[in-house]
Amino acid sequence: MQRYSATAIALHWLVALMILCSATLGLYMVDLQLSPTKLKLYSWHKWLGVSIFLVAAGRLFWRLTHPAPALPPTVPLWQRRAASLSHALLYALLFVIPLSGWLMSSALGVQVVYFGVLPLPDLVEKDRALGERLQLAHLTLNLTLLALVVLHAAAALKHHFLDRDEVLQRMLPAVPPRR
C-alpha cells in the first residue's frame, strides 16, 4: 500500500485540528456578552484563521508538487470524480473561509492584527451593512465546510469498514510493523 507522504499526513491532520478549534471557538464566542474574554477569543479565532490560510497554502503547494497516491482499482469512476470534486472544494474553502473572515473584519471596522503584532491591511472600507452580509457569508461557507467534512469523513469510514480497502489508511500515520 502506498501512503500519502509524512508531510502530507501531518499537514492534513494539523489543518483538521485547527478547523475543529477555530469552528468551536467561532460558535462559542459569537453569543458571549462583550467582555475582555470575548475580545481575546475573537482575536485568537482570527489568528487561527490566518494560520489555517497559511498552512492551507503550504498544503496546496505540497499537493501540487507531490501527487496523491492512486486510489485502489476497485473504486468506481463516479466515486473517483466525487472524491476529486470534494477535495477541490475542501481546499477552496480552506482559503475562502479565512478570506471571508478577513473581509468581514475589515467591513465591521475591527482590523485583523496577526498575533497582536502584524496588522493585515483592511480589504474594504468600514461598512456595517456589508459587514453583516459578510457575517452571513462566513457562516454559510462554514456550514458548507461542515457538510463537506462530514461527507469526507463518512466516505473514509465507508472505505475502511465497508469496502475494507486501504483508502483511509493512506492518510493515517504509519505504525511501525511488529516484530
Partner 1 sequence: MTCAMPRLAIFLLVVLAPALPAAAQRITAIDYERSEIRFAGRQMGVPAEGRFGKFSAQLDFDPAKPAAGKAAVEIDLNSFDTGTPEADTEVKRKPWLNVAAFPSATFVSSAIRPLGGNRYEVSGKLTIKGRTRDLTAPFTVRRDGAATVLEGAFTLLRLQFGIGEGPWADTDTVADEVQVRFRLTGLPSS
CB of 113 to partner 1, least distance (A): 4
CB of 152 to partner 1, least distance (A): 33
What part of residues 126-155 is at the interface with partner 1 (CB under 8 A)? Answer: 126, 128
What part of residues 99-128 is at the interface with partner 1 (CB under 8 A)? Answer: 108-113, 115-117, 119, 126, 128
Q: Measured between alpha carbons, how far is 147 from 111 in angstroms, rounded to an integer?
A: 29
The answer to whether the beta carbons of residues 42 and 29 sit under 8 Å apart is yes
Q: Measured between alpha carbons, how far is 117 from 129 in angstroms, rounded to an integer?
A: 28
Of 86 and 111, CB closest to partner 1 = 111
> Amino acid identity of 176?
P
Cell 502530507 found at: 8
Strand (E) or helix (H) holding 100: helix 77-108
- 30 counts as binding partner 1 under rule CB under 8 A: no
Would you give the binding string for partner 1 spanning residues 34-53, x where CB under 8 A is met? xxxx-xx-xx----------
CB neighbours of residue 107 within 10 Å? 22
Which stretches of the chain bind partner 1, using CB under 8 A?
34-37, 39-40, 42-43, 108-113, 115-117, 119, 126, 128
